[in-house]
A and B are shown apart, each in its own frame.
Chain A
């Protein structure tokens, strides 16, 4: 469908009703949670559950990014949770630095002489790095004292890493599963690096105490959690709008075309690598922002969160939700992570088989893995496919052989469904 053929463009909202529906639901949800919260409402929902909801919104945002890069552009990246973690580390450095600075200044103010800048810095470094046996700031903490610089790092660090990695990978035409494995290797390298004590980011311990905002010690967590909840909801809304806008225009058509037949798009004269690079970098930035909102709510970020398995779960969410449609990614992330919390939190009732009791804390992952296999085999559209059934939408009836020579492109059988 070309827009030029239409005499007058319909408003964006009417062309894509799902965007308006989604934003309305999100707004209603936010208001509803606020009303039911402890901080500003009647206190039906506990603060810890608000945090869970806020974290879930962040996961929805990163799932959105994953959907954009995988569902729309066909790049199965297994590195987006690494970008997510990097965003968390970037904001965590400032949170930790600023909070420790307040504590150190307080303890030094009792001394007879006013502290010198060196003494303050030494005190903070000892507090933060004592756990890895160091008392000096590594060079990467040079900007940790400044919130604006660290906020810039939230965007720049994942963005630059994605840019460099993507440039290297795309220019040598690494595609399909090779690219997936390569991104997985990058993620593994990054997490192994962060696991070292001399990486400068407290190794295995990660950054902790991030739930306490510096200078806001008096504000109760019930309020702070709502602030973060609102911020996450706003970020998700903006991210959704941005993604919807990107995929709706010509740009969106090109990246979908790249997914379906990369070679053909290249022959049509489009710089495929540049398009891929833009999408890859942009989604990495979105993932970084999501992480920066997620980890202050989680309170701790450590290298285990960056391990390849996290990115694999991200792919699982998007696949279960339904890739190639934005609301599918959100549904998948929200559904799977909330159900996961429910099962692993020990709330799900155990099933007694007589000879063996299935404890869901142990068996949930097995169920998730197998249901993921089933979704891949039997319902490639995921939960989002239910919407198609609901509004009776049918896929176009495309005939012919492969829709594209690239591994991972849609195949005839798939398109017929």
Chain B
């Protein structure tokens, strides 16, 4: 008996599936009223249907739009009623009622048509859905809705956003909503006072979104007139031929406003003349004589007189027309009061941005300065203290960087490999420096030009050897993961951790140098040998050994600098020669023989280069060029550098 009843009921539901559907529910009635355009599914005409759904105030509307957007809405071909459905298999649907979300049953899909909105319609639905999502219980949905508004805000979002503010519980989302609400008020606020208030609330805000919201308000249209109008929405006057308005654009504006005759381009004029060639003549002028612009203008004017071509403005007429009109900007983005408020807010923001950019630039310059300092500090020892000019210094930097690269090939852990690479680079370049001092440089003391030449030879050879071993392509020297990313202070000021690390390293080196030179036996002996080798020798110091160790120490520091520079730039066989001239400049500008001078020199060179780059950000080559020129001039005025040694030390 029970089984019979069950079978009967199943037959009943299969036979009359729609009987269970509430055809008179308000949502269904609403859909029915818009059925034609919903079924037509055209992006151009769908607007009213979506608006009707969105503004219906019915709680089910969100479900409808959700299902519609995800292509789960079907329409019964017989009754015309809308349902949403899951596909059980290829031929069967499990359908649900929109009115209360109850399952109606499983039916064959023959009697239903799927609604397939195209991407344009889905976008419109998505926009309309936002207002529901803003109050969704799931915080992730609310965040996604805010993301959607940030990507493409619309006027309707403002009301929805305001409505959703009250019931917001999550403080972070609330803050985002409030900010977004004020941004939307700037764009779509009803009264000017409201908009101005919103604008003023963003005073000094560095966010890019604020500037993006304010800039459209300032949009202008260039207009021309005989006299400058006195309307309040008139912006600045423009001069034809100035940067904002070229002469051609200004005249084109007059032409389009029917205030002047059109001009003709050189190409069109030529084509018109060619078209009217008859018997080797144009309007009675020999073709062969038309080899200058004046002749062509004359021929064209003659044609115009004959009425063959339309008359065009001559240069004189153009000048006259331009002189007779004023060109000005008219604010079209917003009413004048709002524009002025936006302008004031933008100016304040831009001032703040400029200050922050200056700060950011200073950080950049500081990190560049520390790189130059790192590259030059080894040189400050070999060249500054010992007076040995070592043109292969850059190659020691390169050797250090390649040491780091090779170590990373064997030790995959980046942190560990850097820790191994730094002492190893020091050891290798120390050895290379000592070898070079013993084999070459000690024969050439007090013959700087010869030293320069010999070390050039070594530099050429080392560079080529590196090229032969490692190839010409750049090798990566990867920084440990904890050095990735950057310290972000605000939207404008940020500095990567690797630059901070290099800065710290530079400070460490400075401390190391000062400690070794001023606090150790080696430093004392180095200074003694530098000042007076014979006297030092008679005091029991071995000058040969000291020279060897000092040179090795300077070279070793170059090796460590190489590891640091390799982390920041690519490792190539030519990286040394990129730094050598700047390094020497740093030492020379700072003042030979003084570490503080080198520090000042590096700071000056770094800030100078960034400063020049600031004027022309796209062109670092130009920055380097001008920097070198500046240094050449600087040496004119202070040939001994910023800190010039005086007295006996200068003669050492």
Contact = CB atoms under 8 A, between A and B. Distances in A.
B469 to A, nearest CB: 10
Contacts of A113: 270, 273-274, 287, 290-291, 296
B618 to A, nearest CB: 10
B309 to A, nearest CB: 15
A411 B450 CA distance: 11
B80 to A, nearest CB: 62
A377 B444 contact: yes
Contacts of B631: 185
Interface string B285-314: 001111111001000000000000000000
A247 to B, nearest CB: 19
Given A116-B293, A376-B450, A188 B581 contact: yes
Contacts of A165: 632
B528 interface: no
Contacts of A370: 457-458, 461
A312 interface: yes
Given A112-B274, A181-B584, A182-B632, A193 B621 contact: yes
A362 B472 CA distance: 11
Contacts of B277: 112
Contact of A319 (B453, B463, B465): B453
Given A180-B452, A407-B448, A408-B448, A192 B625 contact: yes
Nearest to A377: B443
B65 interface: no
Contacts of A373: 440, 454, 457-458, 461
A108 to B, nearest CB: 10
A182 B581 CA distance: 9
Contacts of B289: 114
Nearest first, the 10 closest Cβ-Cβ pairs linking A and B are A369-B461, A372-B457, A369-B460, A408-B449, A189-B628, A114-B291, A365-B464, A373-B457, A112-B274, A376-B454
B459 interface: yes
A184 B625 contact: no
Contacts of B449: 76, 176-177, 180, 407-408
A132 interface: no
Given A112-B277, A113-B274, A315-B456, A177 B296 contact: no
Interface string A348-372: 0000000000000011011011111
A118 B628 contact: no
B530 interface: no
Contacts of A414: 447
A76, A180, A371, A380: which has the most chain B beta carbons within 10 Å?
Answer: A180
B288 A114 contact: yes
B621 A192 contact: yes
A377 to B, nearest CB: 6
Interface in A14-30: none
Contacts of B508: none
A41 B274 CA distance: 53
Q: Which of B270, B456, B463 has the most CB of A within 10 A?
A: B456
A315 B273 CA distance: 62
5 contacts: A113-B291, A189-B624, A366-B468, A377-B444, A407-B447
B455 to A, nearest CB: 8
Interface in A185-235: 185-186, 188-190, 192-193, 195-196, 198
B457 A369 contact: yes
A309 interface: yes
Nearest to A76: B449
A123 interface: no
Contact of A376 (B273, B444, B464, B584): B444
A189 B290 contact: no
Contact of B622 (A169, A196, A315, A402): A196
Contacts of A312: 456, 460
B458 A369 contact: yes
A172 B389 CA distance: 21
B270 to A, nearest CB: 6
A178 interface: yes
A346 interface: no
Nearest to A113: B290
Given A176-B448, A315-B456, 20 more contacts: A113-B290, A113-B291, A114-B287, A116-B291, A116-B292, A174-B635, A180-B452, A185-B584, A188-B581, A189-B625, A189-B629, A192-B621, A192-B628, A193-B625, A363-B464, A365-B463, A365-B464, A373-B458, A376-B454, A411-B446
B633 interface: yes
A198 B619 CA distance: 10
B38 interface: no
A116 B621 contact: no
Contacts of A377: 440, 443-444, 454
Contacts of A186: 628, 632
Q: Which one of A117, A185, A186, A368 has the highest number of Cβ atoms from chain B below 10 Å of its Cβ?
A: A185
A151 to B, nearest CB: 27
Nearest to A188: B581
B460 A188 contact: no
A195 B621 contact: yes
Contact of A168 (B448, B453, B585, B633): B633
A328 interface: no
Nearest to B275: A112
Interface in B595-652: 619, 621-622, 624-625, 628-629, 631-633, 635-637, 639
A299 interface: no
Interface in A120-170: 165, 168-169
B467 interface: yes
Contacts of A168: 632-633, 636
A362 B466 CA distance: 11
B453 A185 contact: no
B373 to A, nearest CB: 18
A61 B637 CA distance: 35
A318 B91 CA distance: 92
Contacts of B444: 376-377
Contacts of B293: 116, 118
Contacts of A369: 456-462, 464
Interface centre among B289, B621, B629 (most CB of A within 10 A): B621
Contacts of B460: 309, 312, 365-366, 368-369, 372
B376 to A, nearest CB: 13
A366 B461 CA distance: 4
B588 interface: yes
Contacts of B453: 76, 315-316, 319, 372, 376
Contacts of A117: 291-292
Nearest to B299: A113
Contact of A193 (B291, B467, B622): B622
A112 B271 CA distance: 9
Contacts of A88: none
A250 interface: no
Given A113-B270, A116-B291, A196 B621 contact: yes
A196 B577 CA distance: 19
A205 to B, nearest CB: 15
A169 B296 CA distance: 55
A399 interface: no
A371 B389 CA distance: 19
A398 interface: no
B456 A185 contact: no
A73 to B, nearest CB: 12
B380 to A, nearest CB: 14
Nearest to A362: B468
Contacts of A177: 389, 448-449, 452
A162 B458 CA distance: 29
Contacts of A76: 449, 452-453
A168 B630 CA distance: 13
Contacts of A308: 577, 581
A411 B130 CA distance: 87
A182 to B, nearest CB: 6
Contacts of B290: 113-114
Contact of B639 (A174, A189, A192, A362): A174
